[in-house]
Amino acid sequence: MHGLPMLPVYLVDFFGAMAMIILSLVAFYYAYSLKNLEPKNVLWTYLFWLCMAMVALSASRAIGHVLKYVFVLAGMPEIWPFLAPFSGGLNTVAFVSVAVLTFYYPNVRDVLELVQEEAKRLADANRRLRDAHNELRILNQTLEQKVEERTRELQLSESKFRGLFEGSKDLIFFCDTDGFITDINQSGAELLGFKDKSEVIGLQLKNFFSRTEDWETYYQSVCGVHGHIKDFEVNFKKTDGSTLYLMITANGLSGPNGSCLGSEAIAKDLTQFKRVMNQLIQSEKMVTVGHLAAGVAHEINTPLGIILGYTQLLEEDLRNQPEVFETLKIIEKQTKICKKIVADLLRFSRNALEGERAAVNLNKCVEEVLALIEHSLNMDVIYVMKNLDQNLPDISGIHDKICQVIMNLINNAHHALGKEGIIGIWTRYHSDNNEVELIIGDTGPGIPKELQNKIFDPFFTTKEVGKGTGLGLTLSYAIISEHGGRMEVHSPPDDPELIKAGMETAFHIFLPAMPNPKQFNA
């Protein structure tokens, strides 16, 4: 009499518990699929973990409800009161796991915002490069107009044009209507891997494009309706099989009846610049994700250990119940998988700054970095004053990471100066403690005293939103520390030579020098 009215409730409870398991598994399957599609996507990884915790929560709650009815139908209702506390404990642990993962959503959102900020920085860099190429194109058009307007001075104009054509370090070439190269400057030929430009003349431009689609876009734009193409980013194939990353601006040459007679183009080699920029971006991302991974891993390890411990205890108590024991084995297996993922995250965060060491000369690193950013500094009328010790000994380090530190410091000095100013670079050797010193200073506004203790903190930046992540100096400091050195900032500087040069801020880097073989042979 009293049991029949409650039958619908029991059925809803029983089938609702089963539906809870099924729906959580479906959500876990979709999260797992998204993670497989984009393994490096932080959001999909976070959803994967969250769904995994939801599966554990659903399983713990639903199995408890189902077991109660199973025991009642099997005629063993006295077993359920004994198992009920364990079921409640599992529910509590699962609830806590889901809550902890939910609290970490702001961190995941912060990582996504950092990625978006990096994309904005790249867009700004591309815009500046487009402006520079536009100026070059206007200059080229002006020269062409002068040649047409001053036909009586054709020889002189041709001489001026040829000087610019041959003296430019960029790739400049002309093609006929079929895309065969009719002329190219010597620097452009060498850039493509040829010893002399005569080897290039007569070859078809199409063969240098890495992708056929890029060639079709280029040809249709230059010889089609538009008659030009601006800041077209393509990959070229060199004679040795390597790839050049170029940015091309080209104009079509039209005949009297409007037909295409060929094209003229100038291409800027951005291969080295792109490589260094990618390294910088990747390094900042690696450090950011490394810190996040370490924090997440430490926080997740504790609840995972508790889940695993309680699961193993339940296995010992329920070995006589095959179905329950098998379910507990599944939970144990999945928990161990989670712990392995956490261990991998910890290993990743610890190895973020690893690399192979070799002999590195700081003077060469300075020259390489300046060669990459010299054009940008010149555009803002910034003069670089170098005082490099030519007898500077090598250091033991990672060449690319030392260049990255120098690039970060010069870029910071450039940002502080804005337009017009002086960046000073000194290298020195201190024989008394066998240390090499690198100094990078600028004549900018300086760094306020109250901020000097914060500039190496992660995510601290005085730049505008979207202009920086606040990790440049933090990563530079970490790299120097990894090399056994130290970094200091003085604003204003206390070195008389720097004060005389007008420096307002100076970063000092001290690194141990490699032993000199002559010292041991003496």
Q: What CATH number is attached to the domain comprising 468?
A: 3.30.565.10
What is the C-alpha to C-alpha distance for residues 438 and 405, in angstroms, rounded to an integer?
A: 11
CA distances to 415, 443, 504 from 500, in Å: 22, 11, 10
Task: Kindly give the interhelix angle for 472-482 and 399-417, rounded to the nearest 10 degrees.
Answer: 150
Residues contacting 242, CB < 8 A, separation 6+: 193
| Sequence letter at residue 230 | K
The answer to whether residue 125 is domain-embedded is no
Per-residue tokens: 503: 């420096």
Same-domain pairing of 500 and 368: yes
Same-domain pairing of 214 and 282: no
Considering Cα of 254, then 259, then 261, then 262, what sign does the dihedral take? positive
Q: What integer pLDDT is reported at residue 188 of this predicted model?
A: 86
Same-domain pairing of 373 and 503: yes
Same-domain pairing of 230 and 325: no
Same-domain pairing of 346 and 410: no
Q: What integer pLDDT is reported at residue 426 of this predicted model?
A: 94
- CB of 77 closer than 8 Å to CB of 111: no
What is the C-alpha to C-alpha distance for residues 444 and 502, in angstroms, rounded to an integer?
A: 9
Single out the residue of 441, 17, 460 nearest to residue 9, CA to CA. Answer: 17
DSSP 291-302: HHHHHHHHHHHH
Same-domain pairing of 366 and 290: no
Single out the residue of 342, 364, 499, 459 nearest to residue 107, CA to CA. Answer: 459
Count of alpha carbons within 13 angstroms of residue 42, beta-carbon side: 22
The model's pLDDT over 72-99, given as tens digits with 9 standing for 90+, comes to 666 676 766 766 666 666 666 666 666 6
Q: What integer pLDDT is reported at residue 260 of this predicted model?
A: 80
CATH code of the domain covering residue 144: 3.30.450.20
pTM above 0.85, yes or no: no
Count of alpha carbons within 13 angstroms of residue 480, beta-carbon side: 24
385, β-bridge pairs: 424
The answer to whether residue 4 is domain-embedded is yes
Q: Per this entry, what is the length of the chain?
A: 522
Residues contacting 154, CB < 8 A, separation 6+: 147
- CB of 376 closer than 8 Å to CB of 493: no
- CB of 483 closer than 8 Å to CB of 494: no
Per-residue tokens: 26: 């479906």
Per-residue tokens: 479: 């790299």
Same-domain pairing of 466 and 498: yes
- CB of 395 closer than 8 Å to CB of 513: yes
The answer to whether residue 116 is domain-embedded is no
The answer to whether residue 314 is domain-embedded is yes
Kindly state the DSSP code that residue 392 receives in the 8-state scheme: P
Q: Cα angle at 275 between 192 and 121, to 5 degrees? A: 125
Distance of CA 140 to the CA centre of its chain: 35
Name the helix (H) or strand (E) containing 441: strand 435-442
Q: Cα angle at 88 between 82 and 90, to 5 degrees? A: 110
Q: What integer pLDDT is reported at residue 18 of this predicted model?
A: 73
Q: What integer pLDDT is reported at residue 357 of this predicted model?
A: 82
The model's pLDDT over 160-191, given as tens digits with 9 standing for 90+, comes to 666 666 677 788 888 988 889 998 888 888 88
Kindly state the DSSP code that residue 394 receives in the 8-state scheme: P
Same-domain pairing of 427 and 506: yes
Range of the domain at 285: 274-352
User: β-pairing, 382-387 with 358-360?
Assistant: unpaired
Same-domain pairing of 206 and 311: no
The answer to whether residue 379 is domain-embedded is yes
Q: Show which of 352, 371, 398 is a domain's final residue.
A: 352
Q: Give the pLDDT of the chain (522 residues) as one tens digit per residue.
A: 344 456 676 676 667 777 777 777 777 777 777 777 777 666 667 777 767 777 776 766 666 666 666 666 666 767 667 666 666 666 666 666 666 666 666 666 666 677 677 778 888 888 888 888 888 777 766 656 655 666 656 665 566 666 666 677 788 888 988 889 998 888 888 888 898 888 989 999 999 998 889 998 998 888 877 788 888 989 898 887 778 889 999 988 887 777 788 888 898 888 877 766 755 654 565 566 566 666 666 678 778 888 888 888 888 888 888 888 888 888 888 888 787 767 655 654 554 445 578 899 999 999 988 887 887 888 889 999 999 999 999 999 888 889 888 988 998 889 888 888 999 999 999 988 899 999 999 998 888 877 766 676 655 566 554 444 455 677 777 788 788 888 888 888 888 899 999 999 999 999 999 876 444 333
The answer to whether residue 120 is domain-embedded is no
Same-domain pairing of 368 and 489: yes
Same-domain pairing of 504 and 484: yes
Residue with tokens 């994700």: 289
The answer to whether residue 126 is domain-embedded is no
Q: Show which of 331, 352, 373 is a domain's final residue.
A: 352
Q: What integer pLDDT is reported at residue 465 of this predicted model?
A: 43
Per-residue tokens: 425: 């670079």
CATH code of the domain covering residue 311: 1.10.287
| Sequence letter at residue 358 | A
CA distances to 59, 93, 488 from 99, in Å: 16, 10, 43
Q: Given strand 171-176, what is the order of strands in its sheet?
A: 181-184, 171-176, 260-269, 243-254, 228-237
Q: Show which of 226, 252, 269 is a domain's final residue.
A: 269
Residues contacting 204, CB < 8 A, separation 6+: 178, 179, 180, 181
Q: What integer pLDDT is reported at residue 1 of this predicted model?
A: 38
CA distances to 103, 272, 425, 515, 520 from 436, in Å: 46, 27, 13, 12, 19
Same-domain pairing of 88 and 209: no
The answer to whether residue 8 is domain-embedded is yes
Q: What integer pLDDT is reported at residue 148 of this predicted model?
A: 61
Q: How many domains does the chain have?
A: 4
Question: Please, where are the H alpha helices in 151-260?
Answer: 154-167, 186-191, 212-222
